[in-house]
Structure 1
Amino acid sequence: MTTADPALRAIECKLDEGISLSLEDGLTLFRTSDIHTLGRLAKTAKERKSRNEVYYVLNRYINSTNVCYANCTFCSFSRGEKDVDRVRMSADQVVAKALETGTNFNQLHIVGGHDPRQLSLDYWLPLMRRFKEQLPHVQLSLFTAAEIDYMARRHRLSYDEIVAQLAEAGLDNVNGGGAEVFSERFRREVCPNKVDAAHWLEIHETLHRHGVASNATMLYGTIETLEERLEHLIMLRESQRRSPGYNAFIPLAFHPDGNALSHHGWTSGLDDIRMFAVSRLMLDNFDHIKAYWMIQGIKVCQLALEFGADDMDGTHGSTDEEMIYHSAGTRSGQYVDDREFRRLIEEAGYVPVRRNSTYQTFPHDWKPEDGMPERALAGAGAV
Structure 2
Amino acid sequence: MYNRINVASKLKKILDSAFDEPISVDDGNYLMKLKGSEIYPLLATADAVREEIVGDKVTFINNCNINFTNICHIRCSFCAFGKDANNPEAYLLDDEGILEKAKGAISDGAREFCVMGGVLEDATIEYYEHILKLLKSHYPKVEIHGFSPTMVRDAALNSQIPVDEAFKVLKKAGLGTLPGTAAEILSDRSREIICPKKVNTQDWIDIIKIAHEAGITGSATMMYGHVETMEERVRHLDILREIQLETGGFNEFIPMTFMHEYSPIFLEGQRDLGATGTQDLKLYAVARLMFRDIIPNIQVSWVKMGFRFAQVSLMAGANDLGGTLGGDELSEASGAPDGVNASIKDLSKIVKDLDRVPIERNSEYTEFYPINI
- Tell me whether 1:87 sits opposite 2:96 in the alignment: no
Aligned position for 1:276: 284
Q: Give me the identity figure in percent.
A: 28
Unaligned stretches of 5+ in structure 1? 367-383
Q: In structure 1, what is the Cα distance between the partners aligned to 2:305 and 2:319? A: 15
Asked if the contact 2:125–2:156 (Cα under 8 Å) also holds between the matched residues in 1, the reply is: no
Asked if the contact 1:250–1:292 (Cα under 8 Å) also holds between the matched residues in 2, the reply is: yes
Asked if the contact 1:256–1:264 (Cα under 8 Å) also holds between the matched residues in 2, the reply is: no
SS of corresponding position for 1:37: helix
What TM-score do you get using the length of structure 1 for normalisation?
A: 0.90
Which amino acid is 1:17 matched to? D
Asked if the contact 1:221–1:264 (Cα under 8 Å) also holds between the matched residues in 2, the reply is: no
Aligned position for 1:174: 178
- Tell me whether 1:11 sits opposite 2:20 in the alignment: no
Aligned position for 1:344: 350
Aligned position for 2:302: 293
Which amino acid is 1:304 matched to? S
Aligned position for 1:373: none
Asked if the contact 2:15–2:42 (Cα under 8 Å) also holds between the matched residues in 1, the reply is: no
Asked if the contact 1:276–1:309 (Cα under 8 Å) also holds between the matched residues in 2, the reply is: yes
Q: Tell me which moved more, 288-297 or 260-269.
A: 260-269
Aligned Cα RMSD in Å? 1.7
Which amino acid is 2:115 matched to? I
Which amino acid is 1:357 matched to? S
Deviations 1:186-244 (A, max 9, x none): 11122110011111111111111222111011111111111111111101100111111
TM-fit CA distance, 1:252: 0.9
Asked if the contact 1:181–1:232 (Cα under 8 Å) also holds between the matched residues in 2, the reply is: yes
Pick from 363, 366, 373 the counterpart of residue 370 of structure 2.
363
Alignment of 1:156-167 (within 5 A): 156-167=160-171
Aligned position for 1:330: 336
TM-fit CA distance, 1:125: 1.4
SS of corresponding position for 2:183: coil
TM-fit CA distance, 1:245: 0.9
Which amino acid is 1:136 matched to? P
Q: In structure 1, what is the Cα distance between the partners aligned to 2:311 and 2:171? A: 34
SS of corresponding position for 1:324: helix
SS of corresponding position for 1:261: helix
Aligned position for 2:53: 49
TM-fit CA distance, 1:267: 2.3
TM-fit CA distance, 1:101: 4.4
Inter-CA distance 206–256: structure 2 relative to 1 (3 Å threshold): same
Aligned position for 1:66: 70
TM-fit CA distance, 1:114: 0.9
Q: In structure 2, what is the Cα distance between the partners aligned to 1:323 and 1:270? A: 27
Q: In structure 2, what is the Cα distance between the partners aligned to 1:4 and 1:129? A: 59
- Tell me whether 1:191 sits opposite 2:178 in the alignment: no
Task: Write out the 4+ residue segments of structure 1 that deviate beyond 3 Å after TM superposition.
Answer: none
Aligned position for 1:378: none
Q: In structure 2, what is the Cα distance between the partners aligned to 1:275 and 1:140? A: 28
Aligned position for 1:24: 26
SS of corresponding position for 1:273: helix
Q: In structure 2, what is the Cα distance between the partners aligned to 1:202 and 1:55? A: 29
TM-fit CA distance, 1:179: 0.3
SS of corresponding position for 1:255: coil
Deviations 1:70-109 (A, max 9, x none): 1211111110111000011112211111112434211111
Q: Tell me which moved more, 159-168 or 260-269.
A: 260-269
Q: In structure 2, what is the Cα distance between the partners aligned to 1:102 and 1:168? A: 23
- Tell me whether 1:303 sits opposite 2:309 in the alignment: no
Q: In structure 1, what is the Cα distance between the partners aligned to 2:321 and 2:51? A: 15
TM-fit CA distance, 1:261: 2.5
TM-fit CA distance, 1:365: 5.8
Aligned position for 2:275: 267
Inter-CA distance 4–176: structure 2 relative to 1 (3 Å threshold): farther
Which amino acid is 1:12 matched to? L
Q: In structure 1, what is the Cα distance between the partners aligned to 2:125 and 2:229? A: 38
Q: In structure 2, what is the Cα distance between the partners aligned to 1:233 and 1:78? A: 27
TM-fit CA distance, 1:63: 1.3
SS of corresponding position for 1:218: strand
Aligned position for 1:370: none
SS of corresponding position for 2:197: coil
Asked if the contact 1:73–1:191 (Cα under 8 Å) also holds between the matched residues in 2, the reply is: yes
Pick from 114, 117, 123 the counterpart of residue 112 of structure 1.
117
Asked if the contact 1:222–1:261 (Cα under 8 Å) also holds between the matched residues in 2, the reply is: no
Q: In structure 1, what is the Cα distance between the partners aligned to 2:58 and 2:262? A: 34
SS of corresponding position for 2:346: helix
Aligned position for 1:220: 224
Q: In structure 1, what is the Cα distance between the partners aligned to 2:311 and 2:263? A: 28
Q: Tell me which moved more, 224-233 or 96-105.
A: 96-105
Aligned position for 1:369: none
Q: In structure 2, what is the Cα distance between the partners aligned to 1:49 and 1:164? A: 33
Q: In structure 1, what is the Cα distance between the partners aligned to 2:85 and 2:299? A: 34
TM-fit CA distance, 1:138: 1.3
Asked if the contact 2:19–2:49 (Cα under 8 Å) also holds between the matched residues in 1, the reply is: no
Aligned position for 1:371: none
Which amino acid is 2:187 matched to? S
SS of corresponding position for 1:100: helix
